[in-house]
Every structure is written in structure tokens, then in C-alpha cells.
Amino acid sequence: MKPSHIRAVALALALALGAALTACSDDGHLDYQTDYTNHRPLRVMGRPSTGSLETVQKVVWRLADGDADGLAALHTEPGDVGPAAKAWIKAYGKAARSEVTADFLDEGSVRQDVVLHFTGPRRTQELTVRIGADDSWGIVLDEPEPRQES
């Protein structure tokens, strides 16, 4: 076989392998990467676990995007939380588009309390992130209780 044919076959195989790997990739990971690049960075204090950090980032992103269904999908408990998700977006949606700091309290292997600090307007909100029944991280989405930062 000529060297030019060998290069052409190698290139075709590389392209086919790349396409196959892309088709088999985890769409959730790609969605996370897209969300990460499309939003402001989250400032972090404390020691989050990988799961608690990813979940809190998703909460802030869903708030910033006004995505009540996406926010409700992160809830770990049974029951309809649509009204609570809408209340969170009303309370924090605009503020989530500005700078947000997440203060991760305690140890976060299966559950972690987090305080979100929104810079505009300066408010805080506590939330609990934890592993749900399906072994994935989520939040306990209660009615928001915005407090002014002192």
C-alpha cells in the first residue's frame, strides 16, 4: 500500500473513532460543560464534595435561567415542588445572574448545608444538598426565606 493510502485510511479510522466516541459520550456531562461555560463562575467557600458542588452550581444556573422545571427536577423528596421552584426564581432569579458565593458547611459526603450569598440584592438563602433515593445528588427545595445580609 502506498504511504498516501495508509495516511488516508488512518485519517478515516481516526475520524470514525472520534465520531463513535462522541456518539457514546455522556450527554449529562456535555450539558454540564455547556452550562459551566454559559454562566458566571460560582465563588466557593468551605469544602464541597464533587456532588454537592455540582448540585449547587446547577441550582444557581437554573435560578439564573429562570428554569423552574429544571430547578424542581433537582428536588430529592416526593411531591410537587413547582410552586416552590417558581418562588425561588422570583426571589433569586435576577440575583443569580450576578455574583453568587456558596458557603459549604460541614462535611459533604452524603449531605451538606450550604448558604448562598447573592450580591445583587445582598441576600442569603440556606439550602440542603444531599444524595436522594436514586443515589444522585439533589436539594431539598423548601419555600425560599430570603434574608438581607448584614
Q: Could you report the per-residue pLDDT of 86-139, keeping only the tens digit for each?
A: 999 999 999 999 999 999 998 888 999 999 999 977 889 999 999 988 889 999
CA-based end-to-end distance of the chain = 76
Residue pair 97/64 in contact by the 8 Å Cβ criterion:
yes
Q: How many helices (H) and strands (E) does the chain have?
A: 5, 6
125 and 51 in a single domain? The answer is yes
Q: How many domains does the chain have?
A: 2
Mean pLDDT, the chain, integer: 83
Residue pair 59/117 in contact by the 8 Å Cβ criterion:
no
15 and 50 in a single domain? The answer is no
Residue entry with cell 452550562: 35
Residue 74 — very low, low, confident or very high, per pLDDT cuts 50/70/90?
A: very high
71 and 30 in a single domain? The answer is no
28 and 49 in a single domain? The answer is no
Distance of CA 62 to the CA centre of its chain: 8
Question: What would the grid cell of residue 80 be?
Answer: 410537587
Confidence (pTM): 0.77
Query: How far apart, in whole angstroms, are the C-alpha atoms of residue 138 and residue 116?
Result: 15
79 and 136 in a single domain? The answer is yes
CA distances from 59 to 106, 107, 139, 141 (A): 19, 20, 8, 10
CATH of the domain at 106: 3.10.450
Domain that holds residue 3: 1-38
**pLDDT value of residue 31:** 77
